[in-house]
Structure 1
């Protein structure tokens, strides 16, 4: 017996609707942040002995896109239109660094506002020179950073400025979410090294003897 023609005509609109829903689902844009959940809330400085001033961050132009940029196959870069940062990547990097340092050092970032009178200020400058994400493999971030101390009785001079380089390589699982988590962890590692140096300057009476922290 042949199918009823009217029944076939009734089924096609439903099938078409399902296909359209599936297509829309595939095109849905997902948004990500470099800010780790445990650093999302700003630290309360309270009686902080010093403050930080995290400057605008530089990132490579090829990855400073709204979309995630990943490496595939033989190393070619691919821009993923349905996976985007919630803010420009350079702002994401700066925000993650500021939040992590504020939390680890129990202080606050005074970038853009006047620092409290009498408190030392540690200015932090970060130049990200490599920001590579390989799906299902790793996140590789390389950066040069400078910490400069001033105010609060600190005498100006080259001895109060330190420039260091950090390189992280974080293994990740398959998918975009593990890739972003890997990038969060990599940024946290760089923040840890910057925080380690700042703590060392607070504990060492001879700033000239302070060395860049090694990778842990």
Structure 2
């Protein structure tokens, strides 16, 4: 067994033998993107609910021990359901990068087109002492204002090195969502102006 995993399991065992201390984590970062938009976009933004793999869609953090095993960290939990954590974190970053607010579920200006963004997280892996990895299929849909309806569907796989501590893994996932938001926002800004624009490279 690799040393980082041994350290993690030992830590879990020691915690189990003493009074449990609950920890809460979030995917929402505390700093805005470093490249704010120059001007607001011509479209209105709508970000739909996000799906995450059922294996990790738990109140507790779930880490991968090896190719076949997962561990549920009973005393380490997300501040909200993981799908909501991911949605809120991605929404916050997309709003900052696109220079507009998410209007999902709200009334919209019929004279302006609406850009809908939908994402499905296919993999959300946390490997202590190795890396965090996210594989996301996402789509853009532009409709309204006499332009009809057109869509673009893309896939992105990204990873970030991480330490053995759970905080390090969470911070790595925060960074991955930053990268994902930048990829989606850059693509959206170009594709809404040029329908011939293709998906970016699948790995970041």
Q: Same fold (TM over 0.5)?
A: yes
Long gaps (5+) in structure 1: 1-21
Given that 1:196 and 1:213 are in contact with CA atoms closer than 8 Å, whether structure 2 keeps it comes out as no
SS in 1 for 2:31: helix
Partner residue of 1:23?
18
TM-score (norm 2): 0.83
- 1:25-64 alignment runs, 5 A limit: 27-39=20-32, 49-64=42-57
Could you tell me which of 186, 201, 208 is aligned with 2:176?
186
Distance 1:186 1:75 in 2: 24
Long gaps (5+) in structure 2: 1-16
Distance 1:63 1:139 in 2: 13
Largest Rg, 1 or 2: 1
TM-score (norm 1): 0.79
- 1:72-111 alignment runs, 5 A limit: 72-73=65-66, 75-111=68-104
Runs of 4+ that moved beyond 3 A? none
The structure with the greater share of residues assigned to helix is: 1
For 1:62-113, what per-residue CA distance to the aligned partner results, in whole angstroms no more than 9, with x for missing partners?
Answer: 1000100001145410000111100000001111111111000101100111
Give 1:117 shift.
3.4
- 1:101-180 alignment runs, 5 A limit: 101-153=94-146, 155-157=147-149, 160-180=150-170
* Root mean square deviation of aligned Cα: 2.1
The total of aligned residue pairs comes to: 183
Change (3 A) 1:164 1:175: same
Distance 2:197 2:63 in 1: 37
Distance 2:67 2:198 in 1: 38
